[in-house]
Amino acid sequence: MPVKLKPALGDAELRRRAEERLRVGTPPQPEGDPRRILHELQVHQIQLEMQNEELRDARSHLEELVQKYTDLYDFAPVGYFSLDEQGRIQGVNLLGAAMLKVERSNLLLRRFVGFVAREHRSTLENFLRDVFAHSGKQVCELRIETGSKRTVWVDLQATKTELPVEGIPQCRIAVSDITARKQAAEAQLRVEELEALNTALEDQVARRKAVEESLRESRRKQALMLAESKNMQEELRMLSHQVLHTQEAERKRISHDLHDEIAQTLVAINLHLAQLSQGAASNPQDLAKKIAATQKLVESSVESVHRFAMALRPSQIDDFGFLPALRGYIKEFSQRNQIPVHLTGLHQLKPMDDTPAVVLFRVSQAALTNVAQHAKATQIKIKIWQNQRFLRMAISDNGGSFDVGKTLDGSKKKRLGIVGMRERVEMVGGKFSIVSSPGQGTTVSVSLPMKKTAADTLPSTKGKP
C-alpha cells in the first residue's frame, strides 16, 4: 500500500512563514546591525521548529500507515510469503505461519519446499522458475504438510517483485487453503462414482429380477405342462379303459346278435332244408312254398351280415366314396330311428385320403347315435362344404342341450362318443368343437385340413393354347 505524506515545505516558504510570525516584532535593520543578526537567528529558529513539527506529523502519519499495513498483512484471510529465487522464506504473515504450524520467527530463511508434500515438490520448483522468469501472475495447486504431518491443499498465486529487496530478487506468494474445496470435489466425484455404481447395481438387480421372473414363469409353465400331462395321462387311461369296455360291450352285442340272428336263421335254414329233403317226394306242391321261405331266411341272414359289416367298416367308402356311404347310412338311420336327417352342401368332394373319409364317417355315426340316444330331437341337419384348405362338416339337432365343458372335463363322466369324435379329428390334424344351448339344440363342427393333390400343384393353363 503506497504511503501518502504531506509535501515538504521549501526554504523560501519556510522563511516566508517565519517572517510572518516575526512581522509583529522588530522590523528588519540594515545589514551589520546586531538587531538584524538577531532577527535572522530568530527566523532560523522558527524555521527549525516548523521543520521539526512537520517531521513529527510525517512520523506520526507513517506510524499510522505502518500499523494499518501490518494489520492488513498479518490478519489477511490468506497467507503471504516472500521468497527468493532459491525458495527461502524472506517474510511471512501470521496466517502463513499458522498454516505451517511454525512460529514466524522460525520460518525466516527456511526453504518453502520443505513444507511441500514429496510428490508436489517438483511442481513447486517449476512454479518458482516460472514466477521469476515471467512478469505475470502464476498459479498452481499443491499439498503442504503441517507440523502435525497433516496435509492440506493450497492454492498459490505469485508475482515477482519489481524491485529487489536489499538487492535480492524476491516474489510474493498468496497462499489459500482449498482443502475444503478439494474435499468437496472429491466427495462429488465419489458421489458420482457411487451413483454410477448404484445405477449399475440397479440394472443388475433389474436383470436379476427379470431372470428370476423368467425362471418363475418357466417353473409355472412347467408345472402347468406337468399338470396337463398328468391330466392327459389320466384322460388317456380313462379313455383306454372306456375303449376296452366299449369294445367288450360291442363284442358282446355282436356275439348276441350273431347268436340271436345269424345262428338262429342258419338253424332255421337247416331245418327247412331237412324238411325239403324229407318231403320233396311225398308233397311236391308244398316244395315251392318251403323254398321261398328258405330264400327269405337267407336274405335276412345276408341283411344281418351286411348290417354287421356296415357297423364294423362300411364297404361303400371303399367302393363308392364318402358321400354315397354317408347317404346310405343316413337313410338307414332315419328308417331305424324315425328321425329325419337333411344332408346339404356338396354333391361331390375333391379326392381325399382314406383316413379323413373314415374320420368324417365315424364322427357322423357317433353324432347321430348320440342324438338318437340322448337328445330327443325331431330333426337333424348335416352340412358339408370345403375350400382350397379345409373340409368342414356341421351336424345340428333341435334336441335338448347339455354342459359341454363339464362333459369334456369331468374325468368320471365323459361320454366316450364325444371324446372319441374329438380324438379322431385331432388325430388327423383337424379341429373339433361342440356348441350346445337351451332351446337351440347341439351343433358338432369338424374342420379337416385338405392335402394338396398333384393337380393342385400344377400351374394353371387357363387361357393358354
Q: What percent of the chain has pLDDT over 70?
A: 73
- Scanning the structure block, which residue is given the C-alpha cell 365343458? 405
Largest CA distance in the chain: 226
Question: What average pLDDT is seen over the chain?
Answer: 79
Query: Tell me, what's the pLDDT at 396?
Result: 94
Helix or strand or coil: residue 1? coil
Query: Tell me, what's the pLDDT at 164?
Result: 74
Q: Which position has the higher pLDDT, 90 or 313?
A: 90
Query: Tell me, what's the pLDDT at 412?
Result: 44
Q: What percent of the chain has pLDDT over 90?
A: 32
At the topology level of CATH, where does 313-452 sit? Answer: Heat Shock Protein 90 (3.30.565)
pLDDT at residue 83 tops 80? yes
Weakest-pLDDT range from 163-167, 169-173, 395-399: 163-167
Q: How many residues does the chain have?
A: 465
pLDDT at residue 270 tops 50? yes
pLDDT at residue 363 tops 50? yes
Per-domain residue ranges for the chain? 11-74, 79-177, 313-452
pLDDT confidence bin for 230, thresholds 50/70/90: confident
**Closest by alpha carbon to 372, among 307, 442, 458?**
442
Helix or strand or coil: residue 161? coil
Query: Tell me, what's the pLDDT at 413?
Result: 47
pLDDT at residue 31 tops 60? yes
Partner residues linked to 343 by β-bridges: 382
Helix, strand, coil percentages in the chain from 3-state DSSP, rounded to 5: 60, 15, 25
Q: Which position has the higher pLDDT, 299 or 183?
A: 183
pLDDT confidence bin for 387, thresholds 50/70/90: confident
Query: Tell me, what's the pLDDT at 279?
Result: 59
Distances (CA, A) of 234 to 231, 247, 416, 427: 5, 19, 14, 18
- What CATH code would you report for 79-177? 3.30.450.20
**Closest by alpha carbon to 330, among 298, 372, 294, 288?**
372
pLDDT confidence bin for 177, thresholds 50/70/90: very high
- Scanning the structure block, which residue is given the C-alpha cell 516575526? 22
**Closest by alpha carbon to 259, among 249, 247, 251, 248?**
251
Region 232-260 average pLDDT: 69
Using the CB atoms, write b or e for 13-35: b if 16+ within 10 Å. ebbeebeeeeeeeeeeeeeeeee
Query: Tell me, what's the pLDDT at 312?
Result: 60
pLDDT one-digit tens code per residue, 349-361: 776 667 788 888 8
pLDDT at residue 113 tops 80? yes
State the Cα–Cα distance between residues 128 and 151, nearest whole angstrom.
21
Amino acid in position 76: A
pLDDT confidence bin for 47, thresholds 50/70/90: confident
Which contacts qualify for 412-420: CB closer than 8 Å, 24 or more apart? 412/238, 414/235, 414/238, 414/239, 414/242, 415/370, 416/239, 416/242, 416/243, 416/246, 417/366, 417/367, 417/369, 417/370, 418/366, 418/370, 419/235, 419/239, 419/242, 420/243, 420/362, 420/366
Query: Tell me, what's the pLDDT at 48?
Result: 82
Query: Tell me, what's the pLDDT at 458?
Result: 40
Region 33-48 average pLDDT: 75
Helix axes 354-370, 416-427, angle to 10 degrees: 160
- Which helix (H) or strand (E) covers residue 153, if one does? strand 151-160
**Closest by alpha carbon to 126, among 136, 113, 117?**
113
pLDDT confidence bin for 376, thresholds 50/70/90: confident
pLDDT confidence bin for 84, thresholds 50/70/90: very high
Beta strands in 265-401 (DSSP E): 341-345, 380-386, 390-397
pLDDT confidence bin for 416, thresholds 50/70/90: low
Strand order of the sheet with strand 441-449? 341-345, 380-386, 390-397, 441-449, 431-437
Contact 266, 301 (CB under 8 A): yes
State the Cα–Cα distance between residues 311 and 258, nearest whole angstrom.
13
Amino acid in position 112: F
- Scanning the structure block, which residue is given the C-alpha cell 330331437? 377
Distances (CA, A) of 80 to 61, 73, 160: 25, 7, 13
State the Cα–Cα distance between residues 299 and 265, nearest whole angstrom.
10
Confidence (pTM):
0.41
Distances (CA, A) of 285 to 222, 288, 292, 297: 84, 7, 13, 20
Region 287-304 average pLDDT: 71
Q: Which position has the higher pLDDT, 297 or 401?
A: 401
Partner residues linked to 370 by β-bridges: none
Where does residue 186 rank: exposed (0-12), middle (13-18), buried (19+ CB within 10 A)? Answer: exposed
Q: Which position has the higher pLDDT, 416 or 16?
A: 16
Region 126-142 average pLDDT: 92
pLDDT at residue 79 tops 80? yes
Contact 344, 381 (CB under 8 A): yes
pLDDT at residue 37 tops 60? yes
State the Cα–Cα distance between residues 31 and 431, nearest whole angstrom.
155
